[in-house]
Structure formats: C-alpha cells, structure tokens
Amino acid sequence: MNTRCRALLAGSALLCAVFVLGACQSMGEGMAESAARARAERYAAQGNPQFSDPQLQAVVKDFEARYAVIGVDADRLGLDQGRPCPVSKATAFTVMKGMSYEAYQKIQLDIAAKVPGYTGISDPDAVRVVSLSGFCGENGPQGPAVIVGTTRDISRYRGEGYSTVTVSDTVSRIEATWAEGQRRGEQTIISIIRSAQFKETGDGQLAENIQDWDYLNEIRDAPSANYTYLVPKADGTPRYTVSFGRNPTIGTYTTTVAEHLDTRLTYTRTWQGTELLQENRMKDGQLHGWMIIHPTVYDGTQIPGRRDCYQNGELVKALECPSS
C-alpha cells in the first residue's frame, strides 16, 4: 500500500473507515481488509488505559464489567423490560438528549454554518422512553432513576456529484439523578447506534448505499457503542467526563478523558487501545492552547506527530500557546 493511502487511512481510521477503505480498493481489497482486521485485533488485545487516579480507575473497571455483559448489543439495555414513561414527545426528547428539541436543532444549524453541505435533524416522533427503576412521571424522571429510550438522527452531506444521507437509530440507557427535569451529579450513559446510509438519486429519492465490496457493507452495518461516565467533584460540579467508543468490526477502541479544570477550562486526552493519540485544551467549549497529535505506527509506517496552537477556537502560529 503506498504512502499516500497509508496517510489517508491513518488520519481517518476512527471516523471514516468506510470511505477511506473504499478509496483504496484499487490497491487490493484483500490486503486492505486483512490489514484493517489485524489492526482491530491489535487494539482489542491491548485493553484499556489504566490510571493512578482512583476515580478514573473505578470508571475503567466499571466499564470493563458492563462491556463484558452488554458489548454492542442494544437488546441488552433493557428497552423491552421497562415501564413506559407518561411523557409528551417534547419532554421525552429532553429526557433523552439532555436538551430541548429547539436547542438541539440550533446546534445542528451552527454545525451546518461551519461544515459546507451538511444538514442535520432529529426525528421527535422516534423518541420513546421507559423506566427500569425510580420514578418517571409526566415531567420525566425525578430523583435517582434508570431509564432507557430511543432516538433517531438524520444527517446529509452534499457536495459536487454526491449526496449522502445517514439515518442513525440509537438506544440509550441513562442512570442518573434528575431534579427539575435535568440530570445531576454522577451519570452513566450507554448508547448503542445503528446507522443506515443512503445515496440520493437524480429524482430526489433515496437508494440504499450498497457496495460491491462485502467488507464495506459489513462495517457500514456494524453497531457502535458509546459508554459515557460523568464523574462529579464533592460539590456536584463536573470533574471528569470519560467516554469509551467501541466498534469491534471497524476497529474503534477509543477512550477519551476530559478533565474539567474549572467552569471554563477542560483538558482532554484520547487513546486508541492503550496508545495515547491526542491531547488538547478547551476554553468555553473552544480549542484554546496546544493541540498535540502523538506519533504512531500504522501498518509498519511511522506517522509523525504535530503540535498546533489554538486561541479561542482559531488556529494561530505561535511559539508560546497560553491555555488559560
């Protein structure tokens, strides 16, 4: 496989495996598939990052126990075992998303303003909420509760000569304490997502995006799981947000730890397997400080790292890069 394709794959392996592998078919589907499966096996064998901080280490152990039982199987989240919550569609959406439908759509519009050709919506009619434990009334959960629900998100990317639509159906299990309709303190959220990809035809209709290469269809249909833990400080404010992303078919074994330094500043690290990939700092939700991409080895090729300075979300050239 030539250097250009290696670099392409290395930069996109976690997010764009389907598209990148498709672009490299001319170099041998068998070789690309074999290499991809070998990478997935290597990261799976590494396990998870381990931490000296007892709170972070407790999160890792809890994740490992839950993942051993649930994995990426949405049927194990308990949706069919729950009692329906007597909530309106608007309240159900807020319970599942943690924000109102209007706030969610504003975020999508903000993304569309920054990403050419992108549009995103969520289907409020697809939301369903059931309770596994605790109280869930007309205003949603109250106090400690475990709920399970469904959501459906639809995104479109349009560009010259292509238009792709992705429909993502998610089943989420949320363990939290609710007060006044909002989640408080410690939280555990397990979301399992199945996505279907379509291409728009010339007459505006959608056609399923089936590939000639069976492996592309396999990874396109493979479910992804996100296990997210919110760990509070003693005063109830956030200390850590820890996320584990898993898609064994694609080879996604990511762990992300966001440390909330105060109400404005966050320091984030991301691993693939046990290999540290990236570090960055954020201020008020924008990149602020050094973004560090660590060097790695990809199919025997050394991929160099880099450091970029951001100030209030803007990439700048600088020798020093304040993060406060």
99-146 pLDDT, tens digit per residue, is 999 999 999 999 999 899 999 999 999 999 999 999 999 999 999 999
How much is the CA Rg of the chain, to the nearest whole Å?
21
What's the pLDDT score for residue 229? 98
The 10s digit of each residue's pLDDT in 301-313 is 888 999 999 999 9
> Hey, is 317 helix, strand or coil?
coil
| 229 inside domain | yes
**What's the total number of domains in the chain?**
1
Structure tokens at 290: 């050094």
Q: What is the dihedral of CA 9, 10, 12, 18, to 10 degrees?
A: 30
Type and span of the H or E element at 22: helix 17-23
The boundaries of the domain holding residue 87 are 50-278
What's the pLDDT score for residue 216? 77
| 57 inside domain | yes
- Per DSSP, helices labelled H in 143-232 are 214-221
What's the pLDDT score for residue 116? 92
What is the percent of the chain where pLDDT is above 70? 88
The answer to whether 174 and 133 have CB atoms below 8 angstroms apart is no
| 145 inside domain | yes
Type and span of the H or E element at 42: helix 29-46
| 157 inside domain | yes
**Which of 261, 190, 193 is CA-nearest to residue 229?**
190
What's the pLDDT score for residue 275? 95
| 63 inside domain | yes
> pTM for this structure?
0.85
Query: Given phi > 0 = left and psi -120 to 50 = alpha, else beta, which region is 14?
Result: alpha
What's the pLDDT score for residue 178? 95
Place of tokens 């205003």: 139
| 308 inside domain | no
| 6 inside domain | no
What's the pLDDT score for residue 9? 35
The answer to whether 94 and 129 have CB atoms below 8 angstroms apart is no
Q: Which residue ranges of the chain lie beneath pLDDT 70?
A: 1-27, 202-212
